[in-house]
Structures are given as C-alpha cells and as structure tokens.
Amino acid sequence: MEALGTFGQLLVGGLLTGLVFALVAVGLTLVYGVMDVVNFAHGEFLMLAMYATLGLALLGLGPLVGLPLVAIAMFLFGIVVYRVFVRRLLAGPPEATVFGTFGLLVLLQGVAQATLTSDFQSAPNPPFRGTLHLGAIAVSQATVIEGIGALVLTAALFAFVEYTETGRAMRAVAEDRVAATLMGIDVQRVNGLAFGIGAACVGAAGALLMLSYPVYPTAGAPFALTAFVVVALGGFGSIQGALVGALLVGMLEVFGGFYLSPEMKMVPVYLAYLAIVLLRPQGLLGRR
Amino acid sequence: MTARPHLFALAAIVVAGLLAALGVRSAVVLDLVFTLLLYAVLGQSWNWISGYAGNISFGHAIFFGCGAYASALCVTHGLSPWLAIPAGALAAALLALVTGFPTLGLRGHYFSIATIAVAALVEVFVRTSPALGKANGFELPIASGWAAMQFPQKGPYVMLALALFAIVQLATIALERSRLGYYLRALRANHAAAASVGIDERRYKLIAFAWSAAMAAAAGVLYAQYTLFVDPPSTIALAVSIDIALIGVVGGIGTLWGPLAGALVYVVLAKAVALRMGGTGKGYDLVIYGAIICVIAALRPYGIVGTIVDALRRRRGASVAVPTAGTAA
C-alpha cells in the first residue's frame, strides 16, 4: 500500500512537471517546425522571462498577474531577435544557426551574470504556498497551478496553429517554404511571428515557474536541455508530440530521481534521447 | 596551395615560444602563453570534427577529461605521467569510436544535442565512480623534474605546450592536404553528393573523431600536470565543452589558424576582464564572447581567419573557395 502511494505520488509529480516541460518545448518545436532552427538560447529566453517576472513581483505584481505582460514582452523580444539576428543566420551556411543561437546563449547568460549577479533569487511572497491532499498523495498548490496553467497555454497554442489563418500559414511554411512563398505567404513575417510565439511560450512558462523556482543566470539551461529531449521524443516540429514527449520526460526524471539517485535523474532522459534519435529519428509521433 | 607559408609561420611561432620559455621570467606572462597554446590545441582538436567534418560538438570536454584523469590515475598509482599521454589518448580515441559510431551519422542539431547527452552521461559516470574520485576528483602529489612532468618554473610547461601545439598544427597541415581532409570537406559541403561518389561517411568521420579526441586528451594530460588538480567541473563539465566550442567558432571553423586566433581572443579577453573588473567582472567576458560569436555567425560565418582568407583570395582574383552564403545546404 505504501509502495502504491509512493508510486501515485511520483506519477502525479511527474505529470505536473511534464506539463511545464511541454509549454517550454512547444515554443522550441514551433520554431523548429517553421524555420528548421533549433534555438540553443531557448533556455536563456526562459531565464529572461523569469527575471522579468521577478521584476514585476518586486513592483507588487504577482507571477500570475505578470504572466500576460511577460508573455507579450517576450513575444516582442522574440520578433526583434528574429528580425535583427536569426533572419541573417538563415541566409548563412547550415551550421550558422547552431553556433549563432549558441552565441546568443553565451551573450544572454553573460548579460544576466554581469547585471543581476549569480545569486539565486525568488519572487517575494509567492501565492499558493499550501499543499493539496488527494487521498495519500500530497502536492504543493504552486505545482498544480503551474501544471494546469501550462496545459491550458499549450492547448491554446495547438488551437491557434490548427484553426487560425496565421496558424495555417505557419503549417504551410513548415511543409514547403517555396510553395508557401508562391501561394503569396510572406515567409519572413511568418518566421518572425513563429519566433515571437516561441519566445512568448517560455515567457508564460517563466512566469509560472517563478511560483516555485528561484531564478539565476543559468536557471533556463536545464529546462532547455530537457526541452531538446522532449522535442526529439515527440518528433521535431510536432506540437502534440511535444506534449506526449514532455509527459514522458517528466515521468522519467521524477522516477529516475527517486529510484536511482538525484544526481542520476537525467540519465534515463539522455538515454531516451539517444535511443530515439538513433532508432526512430522522426520521433514517437512525427512523420518521416 | 603550398604548405610552405604555413610551415614558416609555425616555425616562427615555435622560435618565439622557445625564446619566451627560456627568456621570460614573469610567471604571469608564461601562464598566459601556456594557456594560449593549450586552448589552441583544444580548439584545433574540436576543429577536426566540428570544423573540417562539420559535426558541431558541445561535448568535447570529455576527451580533454580522458587525458586529465589518465594523468591523475597514473600519478596517484605511482606510474609515470608520460604514460598518461598514450593511455589517455587511447582511452579518448576509444570513447570517440564508441560514441561516434552510432551518432556521427546524425546531422546538424541532432548530433550537437547527442554530444551534450553523451557528455552528461560521462559526467554522471565520473561523479558516481569511486575509482575516478567521484565529485571530489584528485589532487596530484607534488614532485619535480622531467620524469615527473612537473616543474617549479613555468618555462618547461610552455615548452611542452609548444611541442604539442606544433605537432597538432603539423597534423592539421597534413590533414588539409590528405585524402581524409578532402573527404571530410566534401562530406561537410554535401554529404549526399559525397556518398554518391563512394565516400564512406561513417568511416572517415570516425577516423577524424578518434584523432581529434586523442589530441584533446594529450592537452588534458598537460593541464593536469600544470594545475595538479583534476575534478569534473574543471575538466568534463558542459561549461568546459562550451569554452572549447567558443574558441573554435570565434577563430573560424575549418581553418588551420582559426583555433589559435580564437584562443588568443579568449585568453586576452579573459585576462583583460579579470584585470579591469577583478572578481566583480564575472559575466562581462561572456557578454563579449557571446557578442563576437553572434556577429560572426550573422555576418561572417567563417570566423576571423575565414574572413581574412576570403579577403586574400579576393585580392588575388582567384575564385573564392569558402562556400558563400546558402550554397552549403
């Protein structure tokens, strides 16, 4: 009975963690799908969003009130980064997008370290500090809010891409850039929007994470590493795939951390990445 | 193009380095020279697989770590640190073959992320392995003399680093002119076309990866004998891998002198930031490296040396060999 309780506890913990991973990963996978770029600075965008949320919290706006503001700010930031920088990378050789976004990672971490110090900082007086009890399972309220919020936003993004005109244009560009251009779609505009929306996803995720996590200059890196694995599991470019992959990775991490040891919790996650890219590179749900 | 100008340049660097090792007393200057040469070797090692072969690695520190740990293990078990050079190089080459066999066929970011995953697994292995000192690592016992590869002055260390640098540069000059070098560049430019004329991608990339790993391991041995301290954060962590990639990218990927240029920028900036800002300047060096990489990636994807080579070729009126934007896809 006790073992069953532990199992349930881990299961719920893994699912809730996985939902936040999903929101981070859908931003990455959307950008990848539309313009074939893996943004290595994705985790640093998340870190910026967490600092922005912290700033608003210090002004008296809690993380949930700050969420839309941070998401909008990150959306605009993403569009600027695309216009000024990523657009040029796309015109270069294929490696340029890998080491260009890697340079952005180094730059943003450096800026954060130089201006905001390496200290861990948490939002003052975060709401939802209580614990919820579901039978034998106890979860912190903050984690539940994070998970539900992430699920709602991930679903909203899916609906946007699936049912709106702009979403259709994105899918068209993802499918065949040249054909989309011939159909009169402005590829640069679609790319910029996709990059902005990708950044807005981590903007929202960063605001949610500030409910329970501290922020520091490399706070985004572990989430980005996880997101790479999630996106590979789900199939690069697939939003539903990212959700399924994220839940799987959330479980792997939580169960790995418990049954192996905390310092080995990422081992099953990385092994899953290697297994999937070697055996089924299109991902669990991706198409060839 | 003839190798002669490169050989002259290398000879000039070796002479200048020897004069510095024998004549300069300042430990600060010698430390800078040693670090510069060591990073140039690491950058060149990275350049073999990521520059010439085009598989960008974010996990190269594990091969550096093979050398550093081989050194620590040899010395703490009463063996000569000189033995660590072949042993570490062999271990690194084997690790490269084992991890490269499945992953080197992956393209672009698939490979880059796989290197992060492999390096993270290696780090967990080291951190949990009692024989490798777990998270604490090793402190090397103090000794002195050529047999122990430890010296009270820094001059001999500079000579060793210079020798290693010269060997690695000569090997790279040879690579650029060898069949292997042409195959790698063909694979990088267009793997499908290269495969269609019978170039075995896995075989040649594995050869390059093994040599690349062996070079990084040799640098690791020297590093361990220099600092006398080896632990995961200083040798195999993701941050070390990122520094190595940074040096390679800044100087110019796939160029002979790029790694030296990248190491020069790296060492000078690190020193300048440390001098100007002291301990409070943490992060400013990252800002500058990051900005340089961004500018290079957006405007000059072939780095400092690539840009110079390009300009020289243009002046001579010859055709530009470095593929221009968009053609390499």
Q: pLDDT by residue (tens digit) across B166-194?
A: 999 999 999 999 999 999 999 988 888 89
CB-based contact, A222 to chain B, within 8 Å = no
| B126 near A CB under 8 A | no
CB proximity B233 to A under 8 Å:
no
Best A86, A95, A97, A104 member to test B by mutation, with max B CBs in 10 Å, is: A95
Distance from CA of B103 to the nearest CA of A (A): 7
| Residue B77: count of CB within 10 angstroms of its CB | 8
Q: What is the pLDDT of residue B324?
A: 40
Q: What is the DSSP secondary structure assignment for residue A236, as one 8-state letter?
A: T
* C-alpha closest to that of A85 among A34, A41, A32, A30: A41
pLDDT of residue B323 exceeding 50, the answer is no
Span of A132-141, B74-83, B91-100 with lowest mean pLDDT: A132-141
Structure tokens at B30: 């010698």
The three-class DSSP label of residue A214 is coil
The candidate with the shortest Cα–Cα distance to A96, out of A107, A106, A85, A84, is A85
Comparing CB atoms, the residue among B121, B285, B328 nearest residue A93 is B328
What is the structure's pLDDT at A128? 82
pLDDT of residue B329: 32
Q: Residue B318: what pLDDT? A: 53
Stretch (H or E) spanning B176: helix B155-177
With a cut of 60, say whether residue B325 has pLDDT above it: no
Is residue B1 scored above 80 in pLDDT?
A: no
In this complex, which of A91, A102, A281 lies closest to B326 when CB atoms are compared?
A91
Distance, CA of B42 to CA of B244 (rounded, Å): 6
Is the dihedral angle over the CA atoms B265, B267, B268, B272 positive or is it negative? Answer: positive
The per-residue pLDDT of chain B, averaged, comes to 88
pLDDT at residue B320, rounded to an integer: 46
User: What pLDDT, on a 0 to 100 scale, did the predictor assign at position A130?
Assistant: 84
Cβ-Cβ contacts under 8 Å between A and B: the total is: 149
- What's the whole-model pTM score? 0.87
With CA atoms as reference, report the closest residue to A227 among A243, A210, A212.
Answer: A243
Tens of pLDDT, residue by residue, chain A (288 residues): 577 788 888 899 899 999 999 999 999 999 988 998 889 999 999 999 999 999 999 999 988 999 999 999 999 999 999 999 999 999 887 778 888 898 999 899 999 998 998 889 998 877 788 888 877 788 888 989 999 999 999 999 999 999 999 999 998 898 888 888 888 899 999 999 999 999 999 999 999 999 989 999 999 988 998 998 898 888 878 888 899 999 999 999 889 888 888 888 889 989 988 998 888 877 776 654
For residue A46, the model assigns a pLDDT of 97
Q: Which residue has the tokens 């075989």?
A: B203
Give which of B138, B111, B105, B134 is closest to B245, Cα–Cα. B111
- Give me the residues of B, 92-111, that contact A with CB < 8 A: 102-103, 106, 108-110
- Contact indicator for B265, B30 with CB cutoff of 8 Å: no
Interchain CB contact of A224 with B (< 8 Å): no
CA nearest to A235 within chain B: B110
Whether chain A has a CB inside 8 Å of the CB on B113: the answer is yes
Three-state SS for B231?
A: coil
Which two tokens mark A239? 């939003």
User: Mutate which of A102, A230, A236, A273 to disrupt the B interface (most B C-beta within 10 Å)?
Assistant: A102
Chain A contact for B56 (CB, 8 A cutoff): yes
Contact B325 A91 (CB under 8 A): yes
Q: Does B284 touch chain A (CB under 8 A)?
A: yes
